Structure 1
Amino acid sequence: MADFVLSFVVDAALSRVVSLITDEIILAWNLKDDLKGLQESLTMIRAVLQDTEEQQTTREPVRLWLKKLQEAAYDAEDVFDELANENLRRKVEMQDQSGREDRVTDSVLDNPVVGREADVAKIVDLLSCSSDQQVFTIVPIVGMGGLGKTALAKLVCEEVIAKRLYDLKIWVCVSDNFDDQRILGEMLQTLNANMGGLTNKDAILQELEKALEGKNFILVLDDVWKDVVTRWDDIKIRLEKISNNNGNAIVVTTRSEEVASKVETSTSYRHKLNLLSDDECWSIVKERALGNGPLNPLDSNFEAIGKETAKKCRGVPLAAIVLGGTMGFNRDKNAWL
């Protein structure tokens, strides 16, 4: 049988493509044709998945292909998150320019974050207890796609800033382009939007050093891929040079144990993100299915069906989010089975 989680991830990707196609900023970026092409590809993939499920194939080559397809689907989700964040950033800029005070919520935390309280507490504790004798404490968050590494990193940032462990937070989405000049440039733009046009690396480093003078900061390098392994030492040296104070932190989110091994302060600082329990998945599914509106609570039959269905998420929060959204559109018991 085709992977249940994969089917829902592909459906989620399709839904996000359709939503993005009509967005004004996406149209301004001339991405509509590209997204339509992606929509057609995802539709074909979904059809192949349905066919595979109907045939209930157990052939090993097909299973391997499905595994690779699942990885690609999660990569697509990461790209959509990055695109959505950039989209939101542009909207905020437009609002600032027009003088409006509308608030734009960060999309990554729009979805419920469940079962990660202990993870947040552990990472915050690691950062709190880190020695001020070193320039950086580096904590990699490692786990498969769809587990919520980015959402966890955001929660950690909120917590440490609230506790005033750091003066500044800096966020860079790395993905498969680990270019030190781009990363340093985005760091500077986060601290000073007027410095976004600098192209000289030495000038960027000088401005970063000025912006960070007398301050402690937490830097999140989100979605780091394996190409960092050969380039990490160079950017670490540059970051150490521009950091005037000890007691800073870097949080790296990645799917790769190899990346985690390369960047971590020590093995005790590596945080492996685990699957959620079935109950936690059900909590997400129920939150998404019911929403925040004045809906009647589920009767016992719906509750039992929903809990059983949530087991199919196999502990992956992304699958629970998508499943809950799908179930919320239809309150018929047969549709929940």
Structure 2
Amino acid sequence: MAESLLLPVVRGVVGKAADALVQSITRMWGVDKDRLKLERHLVYVQSLLADAEAKSETNPAVRMWMKELKAAAYQADNVLDDFQYEALRREALSDQPRRRQVLSNFTSENRLVFCDKASRNLKNVLEKIDQLVTEMTKFGLVALAEAPPEALPRQTHSALDESMEIFGREDDKDRVVELLLDQQDRQHVQVLPILGMGGVGKTTLAKMVYNDDKNSEAL
């Protein structure tokens, strides 16, 4: 059916918005109301997606709306990744004094710019979701009974299960680690963003880089 991947995408973003790591940073930066509103909007939308998908088969307007919602959901996922990254960075600083010294090269000014950009991006994507929720009311969508989804584990820490074997990411991880190690003696370090649509494993890759043996030995 049209846009059949939308429901799991929205569920994933809802889970990330409810993540304790994300909440800790949005509270610290004074944008937790925006995070909570985004979460509530998507929970509401999620309850109507089964009906939307059924109507999209015969209604081009609903089909277009679902495509726009999917794009907004991917955008929201990337925005929330920024907050999760900041929480992981702070954990790294607090856990290892030597690592705190190296990462402190990422200056306070850069942190303020990052904070301002991430907060503005959250507000922007929330405005888009607001608009889509308003548009959704004209379709007369209703909540349909559906099989209960598998529970998504709530993320509460940054540790990557060492017993878990990750396939297809070793080359990506090695490239990122080498780029980071090449600049370890610089006064100011370069930010290396990990970009991609929701669900491709950006956070997993970041955790693999953090836990890499070469990275730990260099610090």
Taking structure 1 as the reference length, what is the TM-score of the superposition? 0.34
Higher helix share goes to which structure? 2
Greater RCO, CA 8 A, separation 6+: 2
